[in-house]
Structure 1
């Protein structure tokens, strides 16, 4: 199986996000990300958040989760940030995500089957977060917000995905990646479903068969 796109679900999440946070200051970032997460019916949505950070994207992801009935996880560096996140989500009138406290690159080890990942390009650790993400076998969508201010200007999705899957079974590829001038920049990539057939592929063999009556020689490929 692989991720399947639903325009109807995406549209509903987009509209609900507009109504939930009346976003105008972030140039549509929250609405767009919400629509993408819901449209792909993401069952495990993961985001990173730091104390004092903007809340619109988190609200949008919470709205998306309500449409997919999946799991929404927010990774924060400490308890203080977790408390602020929960409080501000409550003020926004939406259900807070499941808060996981710890260093992002360490926490990612325990989150298996990520289908939608949002990282902040303003954080120096975001490349490591992506590399350590255990993506779903059905595929995943990776989003880097604030990409214009990314501390690592050499972000290349293909190399990060290759490193992330170096020890995994099967193979992956970046189906498409794009940079959008929305807000402070959105860098996105759609990663394909894993393919176990790429591991130890069975070689084709030719079998020679001679018809005993006619003497004709046939070659059969298996």
Structure 2
């Protein structure tokens, strides 16, 4: 899957518009402003078809991932532990993204094994059992991304270890100062998913393809610049 700067940009703009519309009358849980645009652009830019989110209830991150699915022609599966869908369904109804989202209710431990070769997944780590959810993800070994969101209070993500990927490809995890703490893990072939961290002024870099894009919202903005020669993607936080 090649990086598509156009899809990333369109998903970002779509997310900004939809979440701004939702802001005044949304009773859903709040996501840090800069994180929702980031995950939407990331999922759309990598052309994710199967997107899975594990969350207590639908939020702006659900809207962001659904917006990404609309750009890629994919599908978002939103797994909720509670059987009642009233609030979560309203979030998606109001955003007009019904066709992009499939809600599944029940214990994520039981639901997650039904999905294989996931291209992009996001696990809300505010839940006590989040480590088990991360371990159960069946990722696309060719190229995929796992986001562990809300890693506050010393909580840990995958830290480079993905079940089933031992000796099968490259796995790199990076923590970003986004929202309340976010780990992004990229999985893929060794020549396609090489991520490294640039220690200069808090910037981060990853191996990708394409052009450049801009992400932003709230108090800060995320600017992405991809070196066309090396394929290295630099992510900078602008405050």
Q: Do they fold alike, i.e. is TM over 0.5?
A: yes
Give unmatched runs, 5+ long, in structure 1: 196-222
- The 5-angstrom pairing of residues 17-28 of structure 1 reads 17-22=15-20, 26-28=32-34
Q: Distance in 2 between matches of 1:194 and 1:90?
A: 41
Q: Distance in 1 between matches of 2:157 and 2:97?
A: 32
TM-score by length of 1: 0.74
Residue 115, structure 1, aligned to residue 114, structure 2: no
Q: How far did residue 149 of structure 1 move?
A: 4.0
Q: How far did residue 171 of structure 1 move?
A: 1.1
Residue 44, structure 1, aligned to residue 50, structure 2: yes
Whether contact under 8 Å (1:73, 1:97) holds in the other structure is yes
**Residue 130 to residue 38, structure 1, CA distance change in 2 (3 Å):** same
TM-score by length of 2: 0.69
Whether contact under 8 Å (1:75, 1:102) holds in the other structure is yes
Q: Distance in 1 between matches of 2:69 and 2:31?
A: 23
Aligned to 2:65, the other structure's residue is in SS state helix
- Which stretches of structure 1, 4 residues or more, deviate above 4 A after TM superposition? none
Q: Distance in 1 between matches of 2:180 and 2:143?
A: 26
- Alignment length (residue pairs): 182
What residue number does 1:15 align with? Answer: 13
Structure 2 residue corresponding to 1:76, chosen from 57, 80, 83: 80
Looking at secondary structure, tell me which structure has more helix per residue. Answer: 1
Looking at secondary structure, tell me which structure has more strand per residue. Answer: 2
Whether contact under 8 Å (1:105, 1:125) holds in the other structure is no
Q: Distance in 2 between matches of 1:94 and 1:101?
A: 18
What residue number does 1:207 align with? Answer: none
**Residue 97 to residue 17, structure 1, CA distance change in 2 (3 Å):** same
Q: Between Structure 1 and Structure 2, whose CA radius of gyration is higher?
A: 1
- The 5-angstrom pairing of residues 76-95 of structure 1 reads 76-80=80-84, 82-95=85-98
Higher RCO, 1 or 2 (CA under 8 Å, sep at least 6)?
2
